[in-house]
Amino acid sequence: MKGLFKSIRARFHNDIYTKFNIAEENINATSFEIKQSLELMNNAIYENLMDNNKAIEGLRNDIICINKIINENQKVSNLSISSPVEKLVPYIVTGDIHDTARLYEFCKKFEKLYILGTNDEAQYLQKLFHDSGVKIDALIDIYNANGENLADDNIGVIVAYREHIRKDALSFLANMNCKNIYCPTDLTLWATANKLKPRPRERMWIEINIADHCNLNCRFCDHFSQLSKPFCLDIETFERDIKRLAELTNGHIDIIKLQGGEPLLNIDIAKHIEIARKHFRNAKIILFSNGLLLEKSESFKGGNVLQAMKDNDVALRMTFYPLTFDIAKAVKKAHEYGIYVEEITNYKDTAVEADENSLSKLEIKEMVKHPFYSNGGSNNFEWINCYQLNESIVLRDGKLFTCPQTAYIDIFNEKFGADFELTENDYLDIFKAKSYFELSEFCAKRIPFCKNCAVFKRTPHDWKTSTRLIDEYILNDD
């Protein structure tokens, strides 16, 4: 059976490319359907010409409104193809950044904004606007426009229906003589709901750094591991936090990720593994490692790590780097202990199975540059396309963070003398939290620190060693 991560990545990879490739076709397809309706209405006019002059006049008004919608849709379509559009790389952004940018510009034009729809997509769009500081005056549906004059030039309407069921909504807006309409792409609607929906326990993944520092020196590391002073998580702090997490979750979440830095730099990691399993008996526990110290970990003073992994049903996940290190040998050593080795990640091919044939085909690893704005200048909507939001959730020193950049920004600040500020709203103190609901709600929202991240400027690069200079992380506008 193929591993969990590969199947998730493959589905996500195919989904995002497929949806992005059809995103611009959606508007044209919608226009085609409307034109078909237009022809039917014209036929109805002529067939009923002698019977009902009032009906004829009403139909003609509908045609005028529909033509306006077609023209507006065509403008949006031209906007999206006026310059070459780069393909989205699924591990850099989630959703359609081009559509997000257009949506943001649309919202700035009007005094009042309405969302057409009361479905889940509409609810999560409203949450997006709320967290972005944009006022939505109301959610309306095709049966109730709250008495508003949608024909007003100062009113904009965002349609929260996917393309295949959007026809009735557009007909309704035509009847209301609505002039200012924006239809987010299906990909935007999906991604917004996916990011802002609180995770159930069955889909909650928590990352914990067992060591902050690393025995590699990768540029762009989003944990700032190449910048960190040597730091290993002590057993007492780890057990305190993992015990509290178990209390909030009833000992039931999907995955606990033991990582770093390089977690095998912590010679007591065998004990961390035992503690994690003691408090989370049914969770999937994965050790993320570059594998360089795997063989040596048999003889750590804190205990045989490989034996602890076997005894506590802990899987191994490794990342491929362009080194002389024989990763196949490390895989073989893990297999000797009966340890399940998940796919080997390099990000260019997403992941491959941990077998000799697949390992021989791995290409050079890619890294992602996650630049910061130097002045906290991201637009209000950019954060929703962050792939780490509600995904890379970090537990560190009694606090829950929604991404590694916030969790480890103290390392960055200390190295460069920077002053990226964390407020009490940027994390959740798990010892003050009252329930799992509070935990999952916190992870599914924008935090103040989001303003620092240039999500639209993230770029993939082949792996190289770090210069440990600040320009690896600060946006270069040149």
What order do you get walking across the sheet with 155-159 strand by strand?
138-140, 112-116, 155-159, 181-182
Q: For 129-135, which contacts have Cβ atoms below 8 Å and span 24 or more sequence positions?
A: 131/196, 131/445, 131/446, 132/380, 132/381, 132/383, 132/384, 132/446, 133/380, 134/107, 134/380
Closest CA to 24 of 104, 79, 105, 93: 79
Rounded CA separation 181/102 (Å): 12
Residue 77 lies in a domain: yes
Contact between 383 and 389 (Cβ < 8 Å): yes
Count other Cβ atoms within 10 Å, centred on residue 400: 22
Residue 475 lies in a domain: no
Verify that 283 and 207 share a domain, yes or no: yes
Q: Is the pLDDT of residue 134 over 60?
A: yes
For range 29-41, the mean pLDDT: 46
pLDDT in tens, 284-341: 999 999 999 999 999 999 999 999 999 999 999 988 787 778 888 899 999 999 999 9
Lowest mean pLDDT among 4-8, 38-42, 310-314, 342-346: 4-8
Residue 472 lies in a domain: no
Residue 473 lies in a domain: no
Verify that 406 and 261 share a domain, yes or no: yes
pLDDT on residue 325: 82
Contacts of 326 (CB under 8 A, 6+ apart): none
Rounded CA separation 376/454 (Å): 9
Q: Is the pLDDT of residue 157 over 70?
A: yes
Contacts of 478 (CB under 8 A, 6+ apart): none
Which residues lie across from 141 on neighbouring strands? Answer: 144
Q: Which two tokens stand for residue 349?
A: 């091919």
CA dihedral 158, 162, 168, 170 (to 10 degrees): 40
Verify that 163 and 240 share a domain, yes or no: no
User: What secondary structure letter does DSSP report for 456?
Assistant: G
Rounded CA separation 80/61 (Å): 29
Contact between 201 and 253 (Cβ < 8 Å): yes
Verify that 18 and 148 share a domain, yes or no: yes
Rounded CA separation 96/289 (Å): 32
Count of structural domains within the chain = 2
Verify that 129 and 63 share a domain, yes or no: yes
For range 151-159, the mean pLDDT: 95
Domain containing residue 406: CATH number: 3.20.20.70
pLDDT in tens, 187-199: 999 999 999 999 9
Contact between 237 and 397 (Cβ < 8 Å): yes
Verify that 234 and 180 share a domain, yes or no: no
pTM confidence score: 0.79
Q: Is the pLDDT of residue 343 over 80?
A: no
pLDDT in tens, 463-478: 899 999 999 999 865 4
Contacts of 83 (CB under 8 A, 6+ apart): none
pLDDT in tens, 385-396: 999 999 999 999
pLDDT on residue 363: 66
Verify that 222 and 135 share a domain, yes or no: no
Verify that 204 and 139 share a domain, yes or no: no
Contacts of 146 (CB under 8 A, 6+ apart): 138, 140
pLDDT on residue 359: 62
- Of 137 and 49, the structure prediction assigns the larger pLDDT to 137
Verify that 144 and 286 share a domain, yes or no: no
Q: Which residues span the domain enclosing 118? A: 4-195
Q: Kindly indicate the confidence band of residue 356, based on its pLDDT and cuts at 50, 70 and 90.
A: low
Residue 458 lies in a domain: yes
* Strand intervals (E) in 63-214: 112-116, 138-140, 155-159, 181-182, 205-209
pLDDT on residue 347: 55
pLDDT in tens, 448-466: 999 999 998 999 888 899 9
Verify that 145 and 267 share a domain, yes or no: no
Of 169, 195, 221, which marks where a domain is finished? 195
Which helix or strand (DSSP H or E) is residue 318 part of? Answer: strand 314-318
Residue 82 lies in a domain: yes
Verify that 397 and 249 share a domain, yes or no: yes
Residue 422 lies in a domain: yes
Residue 355 lies in a domain: yes
For range 39-52, the mean pLDDT: 45
Closest CA to 258 of 220, 301, 334, 205: 205
pLDDT on residue 353: 65
Burial status of residue 166 (CB atoms within 10 A of its CB: 0-12, 13-18, 19 or more): buried
Q: Which two tokens stand for residue 126?
A: 């409203």
- Of 304 and 342, the structure prediction assigns the larger pLDDT to 304
Reduce the DSSP state of residue 315 to 3 states and report it. Answer: strand
Burial status of residue 478 (CB atoms within 10 A of its CB: 0-12, 13-18, 19 or more): exposed
pLDDT on residue 424: 96
Verify that 180 and 216 share a domain, yes or no: no
The β-bridge relationship of strands 344-345 and 351-352 is antiparallel
pLDDT averaged over every residue in the chain:
82
Of 195, 223, 256, which marks where a domain is finished? 195
pLDDT on residue 374: 82
pLDDT on residue 45: 45
Q: Kindly indicate the confidence band of residue 69, based on its pLDDT and cuts at 50, 70 and 90.
A: very low
Q: Is the pLDDT of residue 128 over 80?
A: yes
- Of 122 and 65, the structure prediction assigns the larger pLDDT to 122
Rounded CA separation 415/410 (Å): 9
Closest CA to 477 of 375, 387, 392: 375
- Return phi, psi of residue 364, to 5°: -65, 140
pLDDT in tens, 162-194: 988 899 899 999 999 999 999 999 999 999 999
Lowest mean pLDDT among 77-86, 99-108, 300-309: 77-86
Rounded CA separation 180/150 (Å): 9
pLDDT on residue 366: 80
Lowest mean pLDDT among 32-46, 340-354, 416-430: 32-46
pLDDT on residue 361: 57
- Of 28 and 217, the structure prediction assigns the larger pLDDT to 217
Of 150, 177, 195, which marks where a domain is finished? 195
Rg of the chain taking only CA atoms, in angstroms: 26
Which helix or strand (DSSP H or E) is residue 356 part of? Answer: helix 356-359
